[in-house]
Structure 1
């Protein structure tokens, strides 16, 4: 039986713990839906959750605590830690924060090199470096290690890429495009350019959505609380 392809665009940022959790949940849901008459192509696109973060790394807790309030940040860390444990993430919130543009540029390059599979191989090493190993993901060596681990480039190739400005214009364009389309928070998942899933959702929620897509491919999922109509979003 041939499977109908479903394109998923996931707008996310590496500085968002819920994006890491959402990636795990989405991959879990896709695995659970392997028997459905649909196949999935997942493209990750950039968002800058902390667009005022400095180019040079500073203490993560200090910056985010000052930006959103320490009490709110502590509550966020607790919730993310508890939720992360259920999907195998050992969150640590120490270490530095800086603009995530270099990591997004590398993800964009990975898509150009190997499409969704390359991005899927790369995204977890970057998230782990940031949220489990407390590393600076604007550091060319850190990103190069992730690229080499994912089999995207050699370490030397990746270092040279990160030190360049290749893919910068495309990342800036996609960030601006997401905001122009009304995306104000992440993760944000666009399904076939027609429906959106806003915020981090559990694997069972995605399984329900994908099952409805499989049952009625010409109609939007009927679950009113999650998929919502969105303006046309470029998926090319």
Structure 2
């Protein structure tokens, strides 16, 4: 039986704990749909939640607490920790935070080199480094190590890439395009260019959508680079 191809565009940022949760939930949902007559093509695209972050690392707790308010940040940490534990993530909020642009550039290059499977592997490693291991993911050495661990490229190749401007314009354009089309928070998942799932939804939400898609004929998605979703399927 031929499988219907479902294209997923996931817009996210490494500085967002809900994006890591959403990444895990989506991967779980796809695994649970292995017997459905659908195949998935996933592309992760960048977003900058904190575009004014300095290049040099600062305290994650201090920066986010000051930006969104200490009380709101403390509540967010509690909720993220609880959701994270349910999907095997051990969040730490004690580490540094800095610009995520370099990490997004590397992820974009991974997609160009090896497609969505390699890109997803690298994304998982970067999320772990930032959210669990308290590493500075704007540090070229850290990113190069993760690129090598993912198998996308060697450490030397990654360092050479990060020292260049390759993919910089592409990433900046994709961030600007997402904002221009109304994306204000992440994660934000666009399905077949027609529907959107906003927030770090649970795996059953995605499974329900994928089951419905398996029962309906495919319709060609919009030709736009980042389609404007016609329907918000679920909002966190």
TM-score range, shorter chain: over 0.9
Question: Per-residue displacement from partner, 1:74-100 (whole Å, max 9, x unpaired)?
Answer: 110110011000110010011111110
* Shift >3 Å, 4+ stretches: none
Instruction: Report the equivalent of 1:13.
Output: 13
Q: CA deviation at 1:186?
A: 0.2
Q: Distance in 1 between matches of 2:218 and 2:193?
A: 13
Instruction: Report the equivalent of 2:171.
Output: 171
Instruction: Report the equivalent of 1:123.
Output: 123
Instruction: Report the equivalent of 2:230.
Output: 229
CA contact (8 A) 2:46 2:171 kept: yes
Instruction: Report the equivalent of 1:138.
Output: 138
Q: Distance in 2 between matches of 1:34 and 1:4?
A: 12
Higher deviation after alignment, 131-140 or 47-56: 47-56
Q: CA deviation at 1:161?
A: 1.1
Q: Distance in 2 between matches of 1:49 and 1:60?
A: 13
1:58 equivalent in alignment to 2:58: yes
Question: Per-residue displacement from partner, 1:179-232 (whole Å, max 9, x unpaired)?
Answer: 01100000000001111111111000100000001112358xxxxxxxx7259x
Q: Report matched runs for 1:64-79 at 5 Å.
A: 64-79=64-79
Aligned residues: 223
Q: Distance in 1 between matches of 2:101 and 2:117?
A: 21
Q: CA deviation at 1:164?
A: 1.6
Q: Report matched runs for 1:1-236 at 5 Å.
A: 1-218=1-218, 229=230
User: 5+ unaligned residues in a row in structure 1: which ranges?
Assistant: 220-227, 232-236
User: Normalising to structure 1: TM-score of the pair?
Assistant: 0.92
User: Normalising to structure 2: TM-score of the pair?
Assistant: 0.92
Q: Distance in 2 between matches of 1:160 and 1:63?
A: 30
User: 5+ unaligned residues in a row in structure 2: which ranges?
Assistant: 220-228
Q: Distance in 2 between matches of 1:174 and 1:66?
A: 27
CA contact (8 A) 2:4 2:218 kept: no
Instruction: Report the equivalent of 2:222.
Output: none
Q: CA deviation at 1:31?
A: 0.5
Q: Distance in 1 between matches of 2:101 and 2:186?
A: 15
Q: SS where residue 8 of structure 1 aligns?
A: strand
Question: Per-residue displacement from partner, 1:65-123 (whole Å, max 9, x unpaired)?
Answer: 00000111011011001100011001001111111000000000000001101101101
Q: SS where residue 36 of structure 1 aligns?
A: coil
Q: Distance in 1 between matches of 2:162 and 2:78?
A: 33
Q: SS where residue 64 of structure 1 aligns?
A: helix
Give the CA RMSD over aligned residues: 1.3
Q: Distance in 2 between matches of 1:218 and 1:107?
A: 29
